[in-house]
Chains A and B, each alone.
Chain A
Amino acid sequence: MKRFPLWLGLTFLMLWTWGCVRQPPLGWPSLTPTEGRVLAVLGMNVVALDPETGQAVWTFSWDKGQLTAPLSVGENLLLTGDQQGRLVALNPQDGTLAWSALETGHPFVAPMVVEKDRLYAPSGDGTLYALDTTGKVLWRFPTQGPLWAGAVVDGERVYMASMDHNLYVVNAATGERLEKQALPAGVAAAPLLRDWTLYVPTLGAGILALDSETLEARWQALESAWLWHTPVWTPEGLALGDMKGTVYLLDPDQGAVRQKWTLDSAVIARPTWDGTYLYVATEGGGLYVLDLQTGEVVRKHLNPEWEERLYAAPVVTEKAVLLALQGKTPQVVAVNPSGEIAWEYTPK
């Protein structure tokens, strides 16, 4: 009893630590294919991998915090962002740091857009930043909610969907607001612009198709679905998966469901279309290969070790499918058509 306060203090510290450990991670690992390489953002590292062997061509370690934004590829620049809202630019040849800009205090989680000599960086602080290729801020466009979706640039119009339940159109040169359209829910993934239509996936209100000029709604489908990724354009229609584990193929003109597949669990990662099949990763550790023409599930691999680890879009190469796995130690694995692991890469 004499040591009760000490005991109490220690208990407090122990439970405190335990409470901190249970904090969910801020970001997910990601994969970005480029010519002959696959670039992976894994925790505090960016690595360029040879997709055939899994060997690292170069690695970059960011000692200031977790890198939370997927890698965006520009002509002479690779861009990502960290948990403290720092924008990190790398040289694509060797992965060395080109420059670092901003420190908003809020994580960058959306992919940046590199368009000509301008970069567009949506930030968790609710501001869309436009910068030049040296990291100098050209303009800022504030919104009322965090920006978790990527921007879409079409000439002089920048479309930006915010978690404040609005879609903004901003002048690319000046950062002035051109238009604003209320949305039924927040948006955490970049809209898809195709044939003057903007397809906007929402969290809890399905998908909306808007006229890209007037922002008038053409249709809304899957009204209560939580959609965490940008829809995929395929010749058979618009493909996307929801949080209940259903993959839909929609008619892009009317929003009608052409086909659907019920998978084992939530589809958070954006599916990948390789020109023949649709590759879908599920949260439960499933990798599905779907034939959109016949509706057949061509292949299915369920790996319990991947459970709650698949949040990044798969990258399809000639010989394998590459998956980035979330976890305390994030990894990249290459899965061959028989479901075997061809190679795996874990950062040192």
Chain B
Amino acid sequence: MWTRFILEPMLNALLWIYAQVGDFGLAIILFTVLVRLALHPLLKQQTESQEAMMRLQQDPRWKEIQEKYKNDRERLAQEQMKLYRELGVNPFGSCLPLLLQLPIIFGLYEAVMLALANSPAQLLVLVRHLYPFLQASQLVPIDRTFFWMDLAQPERLQLPFLPFGIPVLAILVGLTTYLQSKLMTLATKPKAQPQPGRKPGQKSKAKAGKGGQQSSDPMESMSKMMNIYMPLFLGYITMTFPAGLGLYFLATNLVSILQYMLLGKIPLPRLGRA
């Protein structure tokens, strides 16, 4: 079922684009853009749900029940559900779109890897998944070069004056992943409510930095940890896996950033203060 309904349609669409443009790197980028645009409504719903959740967590009633029932988990859950209903928030509203995206993202990853067949054994698997309208014998092997990269190999830019290669793609993936996570945090953060006795621009205690208190919100600290962990993780994956995958990560990150901008979630002046 996975192969028939996810992998094969994606693989054939990707190779159809390749047949039109004649460049596999470009085909990966175009295909990623198309898939991300098709998933745009889900992203929109996810962002709105996250926003609603964040707003709810700022609600005084939420804080009150957290404090009141901190020793009675069952009652706490009941009260939380009541509040969800009252405010019209779906607690799974942000997870569901994300879960729906996952098979598509991983299907795309598998399609890219399969298309870059690097031996007869891998080519045999590839041709079995191709639809008859693609002239497989003319299409294979895929031209794996994109600028200086071999899309089937880990990417390094070799410069004549350096004894080692620079992992440009891994650096770009790391940077854009960091930027994207940072923007996502900004996009889902509810707009700051003016607090009595606090001047505009003054930092809250939770964000007071070195001298101040650490954030007490475990979700926020976890989110901060992931903002560091994910860029490093994806950068490492890009450095060690074929460049085709790194290109997909990079295109995904750039399109996601663009999507957040299109959703109006990232007012550009806020970027400087991120």
Contacts and interface: CB of A to CB of B under 8 A. Distances in A.
Verify that A and B bind, or say they do not.
yes
Interface of A: 1-6, 8-9, 11, 15-16, 18-19, 22-28, 68, 105-107, 109, 124, 145-146, 148, 163, 184-186, 188, 202-205, 224, 226, 228, 243, 268, 311
A26 B91 contact: no
B222 A24 contact: no
Nearest to A165: B138
B119 A26 contact: yes
A109 B95 CA distance: 45
A280 B229 CA distance: 53
Q: Interface SS of chain B: helix, strand, loop or mixed?
A: helix
Interface stretch (B120-128, B196-204, B252-260): B120-128
Contacts of A188: 120, 123
Interface of B: 53, 91, 95, 98, 102, 106, 109-110, 113-114, 117-125, 127, 136-138, 140-141, 150, 152-153, 218-219, 222-223, 225-226, 229-230, 237
A23 B119 contact: no
Contact of B137 (A26, A124, A186): A186
Q: Interface SS of chain A: helix, strand, loop or mixed?
A: loop
Nearest to B2: A22
A145 B141 CA distance: 8
Contact of B153 (A6, A26, A68, A106): A106
Contacts of A224: 137
A36 B114 CA distance: 40
Contacts of B125: 24
B121 A2 contact: no
Contact of B121 (A106, A226, A243, A311): A311
Contact of A8 (B98, B106, B120): B98
Given A9-B226, A146-B141, A4 B120 contact: no
Contact of B141 (A105, A186, A226): A186
A163 B95 contact: no
Contacts of B137: 184-186, 202-205, 224, 226
A19 B106 contact: yes
A8 B219 CA distance: 13
B153 A5 contact: no
B102 A15 contact: yes
Contact of A2 (B122, B141, B222): B222
B122 A22 contact: no
20 contacts: A2-B219, A3-B218, A4-B219, A5-B226, A8-B226, A9-B226, A15-B106, A24-B122, A25-B121, A28-B121, A106-B118, A106-B153, A145-B141, A163-B141, A184-B137, A185-B138, A186-B141, A203-B123, A226-B127, A243-B127
Given A19-B109, A186-B141, A124 B95 contact: no
Contacts of B106: 15-16, 18-19
B3 to A, nearest CB: 10
